[in-house]
Chains A and B, each alone.
Chain A
């Protein structure tokens, strides 16, 4: 097991450098004039030019530039935005909002996804099951920005149940509608996964054994079926939580939430190159760590899986 973790860590380090290198190379090498690409369509003054050249070591060879950037990134020196604000400050301020939104969305996905999936799986072929299948397919096929704008229009605009955009004075309630939108895709996938898993496990031999031992249905379903059905679901949710917390670019953008995703959304619109690169690198790191944790947990959850 520990050998497996060490191997995965080494792979992760390689992946992290490879991925961030691609992002960095794209931002700074593809464009004819990297400074202009950083600044977008705004005119760029000589002093800004000198400052950016200095900040990104653009007068050095490319690999050295990347080395400097990574050294800064890993020692917590994230550089400055185009406007001159330290990126670390921006992110520290944005982080709690993304965390709240992501955890709320994760809770929705777990409670309703698993709950609905279990009911649908137990009543396979019934009207509830058919309804779940059709509705989740619709959600999976709808791009999240469409779902977000439509929900915002209907529930916040026309029905007036929610505020259409971020209102910090409301506390956690302001994240309610965005969290539903953000959770929708994970929720739908969780529900389908749970349904299939429960329906399959209901036909397993150990369930027949449990029933013939005279156990109550409640115990058979609640303990035997559920525990075995949730293994793939937990794996899926583990990788999703990273996406829910960090990757809410579209949702945070639509609802104007100044979280990490919302900052990225703004940075793209304002063509703030340094901020885009830094946030993307940071998100890559989060995704990699999340998937490593899930892989390790997987072995703990399912004793049949053994890494050498």
Chain B
């Protein structure tokens, strides 16, 4: 079970460079992992599309004049994904829809990450009644399944027309318990390490130990969980749009899929293309997270 992590220097061969850390090991593994490169490229591509949609589509879906004469026209040269019921170019809508998905994913992950970091770090470090109190908070939020909670949240906030923010708030405020639990257990593991004792003997205060010594060593597993969570958030955002409580007045894959489903008997292409992009994006984040987790967790090798 407990194999030495640094194998290269066995036999007393003096290495010219410093011994490889766990992070170096993980990176060494990742560089050779095909899945990591494929998933990573898709993520980069989606981010580029979300940031600069005009580079990918000649038609600006937000201002496009959709003509009902084009309604449900099948894919053809120049309009590879065809047209939807309103006669809008499906490709342009898919490209411009990436932004709301990406923004919701990133902002809600950042919010969930900050909350999880605080709760996990403080609960794991101090233990005792503080930890017990925070653990009950985690229980309460976990008792509300993500989709159900997000529906109620988003619906309650939806009366004010504020774009993606109700959904971001809903996902962020409901999504933090799982990463917080991961963070808490890795903080507890790090707290017992010798370097923490050493820092304490040298006179470091709680705040310094937490931020300078424990945080950098305990954050990796949480980041991995957050990567996977980002994929989940994008899926939930689309599901909320599909249910009609998603972001309003923005182009979104979920809304387009819901709309296309109503006219499914006429043509399937307005449904299949946004669905494909959505699945690809969610999948990319899950695979990326899995690849990084495998690299960081030597037990899975």
Contacts and interface: CB of A to CB of B under 8 A. Distances in A.
A250 B279 contact: no
A150 B274 CA distance: 12
A250 B264 contact: no
Interface residues of B, number: 41
Contacts of B141: 19, 22
B51 interface: no
Interface in A36-79: 36-37
Given A18-B140, A153-B271, A250 B152 contact: no
A268 interface: yes
Given A247-B145, A268-B244, A283-B145, A141 B279 contact: yes
A178 interface: no
Q: Is the interface of B mostly helix, strand, loop or mixed?
A: helix
Interface residues of A, number: 47
A92 interface: no
Contacts of B140: 14-15, 18-19, 22
A141 B153 contact: no
A173 interface: no
Contact of A146 (B152, B231, B257): B257
Main secondary structure of the interface of A (DSSP, over half): helix
Q: Which of A23, A146, A265 has the most CB of B within 10 A?
A: A146
A27 B155 CA distance: 8
Given A145-B258, A287-B143, 18 more contacts: A18-B140, A18-B143, A23-B144, A23-B149, A37-B156, A37-B159, A141-B283, A142-B282, A143-B238, A143-B282, A149-B271, A150-B275, A153-B271, A253-B243, A280-B152, A283-B145, A284-B143, A284-B144
Interface of B: 136, 139-141, 143-145, 147-149, 151-153, 155-157, 159, 231, 235, 238-239, 242-245, 254, 257-258, 261, 264-265, 268, 271-272, 275, 278-279, 282-283, 286-287
Question: What are the 4 closest A-B residue pairs judged by CB atoms, nearest first?
Answer: A141-B283, A18-B140, A19-B143, A26-B156
